[in-house]
């Protein structure tokens, strides 16, 4: 049951709203000869391309070129993009219905560690499927590559708090990463760690009726 004092909810995106399967991208990268760079959803050296790209510190073209440098054979940009986007699955309609309902009762926000290639793919897909922008589901939506900040660094949580004049103790943060949950706790946010066997619909089932 959601705390009665909660007025604001901040959602993670991938694994919380958007279904993802990083293994698909791993397998696609393996076929391209890039598997040695990729472990789960992070490159083996987190200081390299992915982390920089997620924070918007390198461009999409720079990201692709850094991958190409690791290969001994030529590869097209579209092959990289298709493999990179392969992990992005669907947003179940029941989650969209829930988010629209929650927005009538709470101030809702999106806070996602993401990158430009993924952002273009899933925002386009959402609009095609539902007929309006993804951002309409929330009061505000924040993406790491646009802010040059990422979770779990406390600065990104504090940015959202400050931009919207939120009271941390009245704000619930939901994420499927325990590391990101701990980062949110560090700035005083209330949190819920969404586990692999739970969906946001499960969590809110008895809270908004």
CATH assignment at residue 29: 1.10.150.240
Cα 92 from Cα 88, distance rounded (Å):
12
How do strand 38-39 and strand 107-112 relate by DSSP bridges? unpaired
Q: What is the pLDDT of residues 147-159, one digit of tens each?
A: 999 999 999 999 9
Q: What is the pLDDT of residues 72-124, one digit of tens each?
A: 889 999 999 999 999 999 999 999 999 999 999 999 999 999 999 999 999 99
Among all chains, which residue has been given the structure tokens 């009245």?
Answer: 170
Last residue of a domain, one of 47, 64, 85: 85
Domain boundary (54, 85, 116) is at 85
Q: Mean of the pLDDT values across residues 193-198?
A: 94
Task: Tell me the C-alpha distance between 31 and 167, whole Å.
Answer: 48
Token reading at 58: 């390198």
- Indicate whether 44 pLDDT > 60: no
Segment 24-41, tens digit of pLDDT: 988 998 899 876 655 544
Predicted pLDDT at 43: 47
Residues 49 and 115 in one domain: no
Q: Is the pTM of this model over 0.75?
A: yes
**Count of domains for the chain:** 2
Does 2 fall in a domain? no
Q: Are residues 94 and 76 in the same domain?
A: no
Report whether the peptide linkage leading into residue 6 is cis, meaning its omega lies within 30 degrees of zero: no
What is the band of 71 on the pLDDT scale with cuts at 50, 70, 90?
Answer: confident
Expressed as residue numbers, the domain containing 46 is 22-85
- My answer on whether 66 and 134 are in the same domain is no
Q: What is the mean pLDDT of the chain?
A: 92
């Amino acid at each position: 049951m959601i705390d009665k004092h909660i007025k604001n909810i901040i959602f993670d995106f991938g694994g919380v709203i958007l279904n993802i399967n990083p293994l698909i991208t791993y397998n696609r990268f393996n076929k391209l000869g890039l598997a040695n760079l990729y472990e789960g959803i992070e490159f083996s050296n987190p200081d390299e391309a992915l982390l920089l790209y997620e924070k918007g510190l390198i461009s999409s073209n720079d990201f692709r070129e850094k991958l190409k440098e690791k290969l001994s054979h030529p590869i097209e940009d579209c092959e990289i993009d298709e493999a990179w986007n392969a992990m992005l699955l669907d947003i179940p309609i029941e989650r969209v219905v829930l988010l629209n309902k929650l927005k009538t009762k709470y101030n809702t926000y999106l806070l996602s560690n993401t990158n430009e290639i993924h952002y273009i793919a899933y925002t386009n897909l959402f609009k095609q499927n539902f007929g309006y922008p993804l951002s309409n589901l929330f009061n505000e939506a924040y993406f790491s590559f646009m802010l040059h900040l990422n979770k779990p660094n406390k600065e990104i949580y504090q940015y959202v708090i400050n931009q919207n004049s939120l009271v941390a103790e009245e704000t619930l943060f939901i994420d499927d990463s325990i590391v990101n949950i701990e980062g949110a706790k560090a700035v005083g946010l209330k949190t819920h760690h969404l586990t692999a066997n739970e969906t946001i619909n499960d969590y809110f089932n008895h809270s908004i009726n």
